């Protein structure tokens, strides 16, 4: 009878060891996926910033070549005025 109990205990211990190994592998994979996600988010952020910079360049090019219709020109001027206000606020904060 005690041999049967010992065998069962060994089986439980083996299964427990297997679960511990699987858990460690899952934790490692989870960390790897988190790292990959962080890198992907960084790439998306960089691509978004690059796209925004290109859009600003395109807007400036359109404005300099006068290819904008009056509505686009007004929106562009409004955006430029907003930038100027932000710059003025920064200068005011720095000079205090």
The reported pLDDT for the residue numbered 83 is 87
Q: Looking at the whole model, is its pTM more than 0.75?
A: no
Tell me: the pLDDT tens digits for 3-62? 889 999 999 999 999 999 999 999 999 999 999 999 999 999 889 898 888 888 887 777
Q: With 70 as the cut, is the pLDDT of residue 1 above it? A: no
For 76, counting Cβ atoms within 10 Å of its Cβ (0-12 exposed, 13-18 middle, 19+ buried), the class is middle
**DSSP 3-state of 20:** helix
pLDDT, greater one: 91 or 31: 31
Q: At what angle do helices 2-64 and 70-95 cross, to 10 degrees?
A: 110
Average pLDDT value for residue range 66-88: 82
């Amino acid at each position: 009878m005690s041999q049967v109990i010992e065998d069962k205990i060994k089986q439980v211990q083996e299964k427990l060891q297997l679960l511990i190994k699987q858990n460690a592998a899952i934790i490692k994979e989870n960390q790897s996926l988190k790292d990959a996600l962080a890198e992907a988010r960084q790439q998306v952020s960089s691509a978004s910033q690059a796209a925004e910079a290109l859009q600003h360049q395109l807007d400036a090019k359109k404005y300099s070549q006068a290819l904008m219709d009056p509505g686009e020109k007004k929106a562009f001027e409004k955006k430029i005025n907003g930038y100027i206000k932000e710059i003025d606020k920064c200068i005011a904060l720095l000079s205090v």
